[in-house]
Each structure stands twice: as C-alpha cells, then as structure tokens.
Amino acid sequence: MTSNIITEVAPQYEPCIDMKTQCMRDLDFKELRRKYDNLGFRCCGTLFTPAKYSQFRGQHIKSQKHIRFIEIENEKYKQEYGSFSDPADIIQQQRRELKLLKIEISTLNKKLIDSQASQETLKAINNDLRSTNIELEFKIKNIKSKRKNLKPVPCANLITFD
C-alpha cells in the first residue's frame, strides 16, 4: 500500500547543472534527501524510495543506462541553452525566450482589452433593450386600460337609414 502511494507521487529524477563545467551532474546524497525527501523518485524506469538513495548513489549512477540518461539530459540542455562553454549563448537564448514571452503577454493583453470593449458594447445594448422593454410595458398597460374602457358594440344594425 505504502509503495503504491510512493509510486503515484514519486517525481522524475532531475540531475542538476554543475556551474563550473556547465554539464549535468548527479545529486549527492544530501541533495537527494533535500530535493526528494520522503517522496522517493524515479530514474531510468526504476523507483528509488528513500531507503534506496544510497543504492542509487553507489550503483545506479554508474550503470550504462544512467550514464546514457545523463548524456541525453546534457544534449537537451545544450540544445535549449546553447554551448556549455559560452555563457553568452545562454543569455542570448534567454533573451529570445523573454522576447517571445513579451509578445505573448502583449497579445493576451490586447485580447483582454478587446473582450472588455465588447463587454462594454454588450452592456450598452443591454441597457437599450431594458429601456425599450420598459417603454413597451408602459404601452401595453396603456392599451389594456383603454381596452377596459371600450364598451361592447351592440348587436343591432349600426347603420341607420332615415
């Protein structure tokens, strides 16, 4: 039962960036405890509960499968942030991302303003309809009261001849 709960919530293991080498490196034991605490984590398809953190450090990170995983993570990082050796590439990439985010924010703001404007239009139409409704109600009341005052027409011949 407990392991089922851990299986459901255990996050995917994420190596961290070594700022000196600009490469991915594995977390040490303390970092594992700090980051994954009692949750455990999954790596290369295996669940590592807190009891297996030392096994992870001692054996798993030396396995071919894990070494390949780190290589792939390095490639992903490289593609996203450019060359490891040049911090300027990282800054350049982040500027590009920032620019895209600004464009996205501006588009969303425009949509918001447009929707607010159409809300205002709808409010104005609603107000017009409300006053038209009031006018019509008043006219209907008038017609009803006039109808009450009408006297029934006698059945006799209304046209008289002298």
- Residues lying near Zn ion in the complex (CB under 5 A) are found at 43-44, 66, 69
**Cβ closer to Zn ion: 12 or 145?**
12
Q: How far apart are CA 30 and CA 14, in angstroms?
A: 15
**Cβ closer to Zn ion: 26 or 82?**
26
**Cβ closer to Zn ion: 71 or 97?**
71
Residue 124 CB neighbour total at 10 angstroms:
10
Torsion-angle region of 94 (φ positive above 0: left; ψ -120 to 50: alpha; else: beta): alpha
The beta strands (E) that lie in the chain are given as 16-18, 23-25, 41-43, 46-48
**Cβ closer to Zn ion: 44 or 90?**
44
Q: Decide the pairing of beta strands 46-48 and 23-25.
A: unpaired
Q: Which residue matches tokens 């350049």?
A: 92
**Cβ closer to Zn ion: 71 or 128?**
71
Q: Which of 25, 24, 70, 30 is nearest to 50 (CA)?
A: 30
Which tokens go with 7? 């299986």
